[in-house]
Amino acid sequence: MNDAARSEAAAGLSADASAVSLPESVAARPGRGGERTGAGRRLGPVALVVAGGFSVQFGAAIAVMLMPRAGALGVVTLRLLLAAGVLLVVCRPRLRGYGRADWGTVVAFGVALAGMNILFYQAVDRIPLGPAVTLEVLGPLVLSVVASRRLVNLVWAALALGGVALLSGGGFGRLDPAGAAFALGAGVMWAAYIVFSARTGRRFPQADGLALAMAVGAVISLPFGVWEAGGRLLVPSTIALGLAVALMSSVLPYTLELLALRRLPAPTFAVLMSLEPAIAAIAGLLVLGQGLHLLEAFAIALVIAASIGAVRSQARLAAGPTEPARGQK
């Protein structure tokens, strides 16, 4: 998770712009792609989102390879510290002119960001990447169902739960119960991340709030990383790999998604983000050699279908009874 900084922009399980893992000030910009015609003009932003998804998940795969050197908590610290450094330099956020409520919101955003990453990396340290992301994505999915208050979304929730039941084999015995619990906990923090990302986006311009929240998350994670990894965090090769994780899992996908959201309707973006579990499974297979059984692949497909169904249902609701959702096929 992804913070995803899934991203990421991750969340993407509601058709409303606030459901993506970027601040609302970015996500709420008009989707110019909805004003254009022709599939060719939409291919560019779609490719950006897909590329961002691959960047996030392959970054997570590199993080798993880094864990024997620095531990799960050490990897979180390296990722957040280095990503915060890059974002602070690039964004140069203004610190004056904000009230207590503004800073409270950005701190809550940072806490959610740190919690999401800490729990997710604890999960992928114990279970394969694909199932971990599949379980994590339940958090935004549940948030989407609760926010919509529509009966049809209960069907999508049931479909997702069916996928999770298949994935767990009836009791998470195959996956390691602790790893599954960490992934589910990361999903809860992902839902909180979505909420506070939107609130931060309303209070801070551009990506300033994201940069400040990343710094808060880095400060929170630092004691845990030092406790687990100590001086190993200062090994040059470890720092280099940590920088690769920070760039691939935070900085690069956020940039690609920001560019895509300027031309892509939020519902389309959300559907694309629902493919994250499949991308994670591919990354786990190619980088880590984590193969999936046929039943596990089917379970992941069920969760992806539920996520896409919830997104499209929410998009139709947002569009109203007579006017089709902008950019919706």
Q: Which residue has the higher pLDDT, 152 or 123?
A: 123
Identify whether the C-beta of residue 298 lies closer than 8 Å to the C-beta of residue 66. Answer: no
Could you tell me the CA-to-CA distances from 110 to 138, 209, 234 in Å, in that order? 21, 9, 24
144 pLDDT tier (thresholds 50, 70, 90): low
CB neighbours of residue 203 within 10 Å: 20
101 pLDDT tier (thresholds 50, 70, 90): very high
pLDDT value, residue 283: 86
Encoded tokens for 11: 């969340």
How would you classify residue 42: left for phi > 0, otherwise alpha for psi between -120 and 50, otherwise beta? alpha
Please state which of the ranges 11-20, 197-206, 223-232, 301-310 shows the lowest mean pLDDT: 11-20
Mean pLDDT of the chain: 76
Encoded tokens for 88: 């602070």
Handedness of CA 211, 214, 220, 222 (dihedral sign): negative
CA distance 296 to 8: 23
Q: Which residue has the higher pLDDT, 21 or 216?
A: 216
Q: Which residue has the higher pLDDT, 167 or 195?
A: 195
Per-residue pLDDT tens over the stretch 253-290: 877 876 776 676 666 666 677 777 888 888 888 888 88
Identify whether the C-beta of residue 21 lies closer than 8 Å to the C-beta of residue 10. Answer: yes
Please state which of the ranges 25-39, 75-89, 175-189, 234-248 shows the lowest mean pLDDT: 25-39
CA distance 254 to 3: 10
> Which whole number is the average pLDDT over 28-54?
59
Highest average pLDDT, of 24-33, 109-118, 269-278, comes from 109-118
CA distance 191 to 117: 13
Domain ranges of the chain: 17-319
Q: Enter the pTM of the model.
A: 0.73
Q: How many residues does the chain have?
A: 329
